[in-house]
Amino acid sequence: MFTPDLISNMKRAARIVVLTGAGVSAESGVPTFRGEDGLWKKFRPEELASFDAFISNPRLVWEWYSYRRRLISEVKPNPGHYALARMEDVVENFCLVTQNVDGLHRSAGSRRILELHGNIMRNRCMECGRKDESADLDVGDRLPRCRCGGLMRPDVVWFGEMLPQEILNSAFREAEEAEVFLSIGTSAVVQPAASLPLVAKRNGAYVVEINMESTPITSQVDETILGKSGEILPRLVGEVWGIEI
Ligand code: BV8
Ligand code: ZN
């Protein structure tokens, strides 16, 4: 299933960086964004995952996030998440950069995680910036407010918003120093996350894409393995490090 190049590069690598997207959570039952059952099929990103959408209709946006929070609260990590958590145990320098906001990597035991787009279960005050990790799943008949009176928003990065600078800088530094870079379950269209595999490639990393379909970076990576991450990743850690998931 895996090329000798992939196996030897993974075995030898002291620094492995992984970028994940919604595809890694698909087998847990979390709908992806752009796939057949994708979230964006029902709603358009500009209508919901944007600051303007929130300002013009906070209740609609809050209901969309509550729907997603409830869905995510009922799902579990899948073997792909667990395989990445075990990879971190055996690789000297490992970093997991995720675009996902569902928190499933942490639930699966991953530790060194850079959440590029925030976390859907956390609220942030629009006035004072206070963060609240214990956000309610459902939005009640009154929109959530901070003790300062400010309106709370989901602590995620919307389109047109800057990613958290510190986290983004770390992600680029990790990509520059990676010996092996895995891009998993992402359509590689959202920037700046989608440029990370190419930064790794430009700096000499062996770059492998694991996805259900080819993407805009497929022609620029060393290898693309088409298939489900929940099946491929356990087989990969099994073959490289003898890990049983
Ligand atoms: C920014 C959080 C700088 C919220 C998300 C025009 C106007 C405004 C902005 C732009 C513009 N043109 C370009 C931009 C930049 C924009 C962008 O990239 N747009 C794209 C769509 C063209 N980016 C931004 O706005 C970013 N900020 O640039 O700031 C700036 C600031 C001010 C002014 C100018 C510039 C912010 C981007 C972050 C947006 N927030 N999410 C929320 O979740 O509600 S993005 C959203 O997409 C998720 O985070 C998601 O992770 C991310 C990427 O999608 P994927 O994860 O790849 O998911 P997708 O469904 O697309 O693909 C899944 C893949 O998995 C598929 O390929 C499928 O085949 C595969 N798959 C499915 N099942 C499996 C599988 N693979 C393996 N196994 C399986 N089982
Ligand atoms: Zn506040």
The ranges of the chain annotated as CATH 3.30.1600.10 are 38-74+125-156
Specify whether the CB–CB gap between 5 and 194 falls below 8 A: no
Specify whether the CB–CB gap between 152 and 129 falls below 8 A: no
Q: Report the separation in Å between the CA atom of 245 and the middle of ligand 1, taken as the mean of its atom positions.
A: 29
Confidence label for 47 from pLDDT (cuts 50, 70 and 90): confident
In angstroms, the CA 238 to CA 208 distance is 17
Q: In the CATH scheme, what architecture does the domain 38-74+125-156 have?
A: 2-Layer Sandwich (3.30)
In angstroms, the CA 154 to CA 131 distance is 9
Give CA angle at 82 (175, 39), nearest 5°.
75
Q: Report the separation in Å between the CA atom of 147 and the middle of ligand 1, taken as the mean of its atom positions.
A: 32
Look at residue 138 in the predicted model and tell me its pLDDT: 82
Model confidence pTM above 0.75? yes
Whether 159 is in the pocket of ligand 1, judged by its Cβ within 6 Å, is: yes
Q: Which has the closest alpha carbon to 201: 186, 173, 220, 187?
A: 220
Confidence label for 37 from pLDDT (cuts 50, 70 and 90): confident
**Ligand 1 atom closest to Cα of residue 21:** 56
Q: Is 105 a catalytic residue?
A: no
Helix (H), strand (E), coil (C) string for 194-229: HHHHHHHHHCCCEEEEEECCCCCCHHHCCEEEECCH
- Higher pLDDT pick, 138 / 103: 103
Q: Which CATH class is domain 4-30+77-117+163-241?
A: alpha beta
The ranges of the chain annotated as CATH 3.40.50.1220 are 4-30+77-117+163-241
At 188-229, the pLDDT tens digits run 999 999 999 999 999 999 999 999 999 999 999 999 999 999
- Asked if residue 140 has pLDDT above 90, the reply is no
At 151-188, the pLDDT tens digits run 999 999 999 999 999 999 999 999 999 999 999 999 99
In angstroms, the CA 17 to CA 59 distance is 38
- Express as a percent the part of the chain with pLDDT over 70: 99
* Catalytic choice (86, 117, 153, 228): 117
- Express as a percent the part of the chain with pLDDT over 90: 87
Overall average pLDDT of the 44-52 stretch:
83
Whether 99 is in the pocket of ligand 1, judged by its Cβ within 6 Å, is: yes
- Asked if residue 131 has pLDDT above 90, the reply is yes
Overall average pLDDT of the 225-244 stretch:
98
Whether 183 is in the pocket of ligand 1, judged by its Cβ within 6 Å, is: no
Q: Which has the closest alpha carbon to 80: 172, 14, 12, 18?
A: 18
Report the residue among 20, 24, 27, 33 best suited for mutation to probe ligand 1: largest number of ligand atoms under 8 A from its CB. Answer: 33
Look at residue 115 in the predicted model and tell me its pLDDT: 98
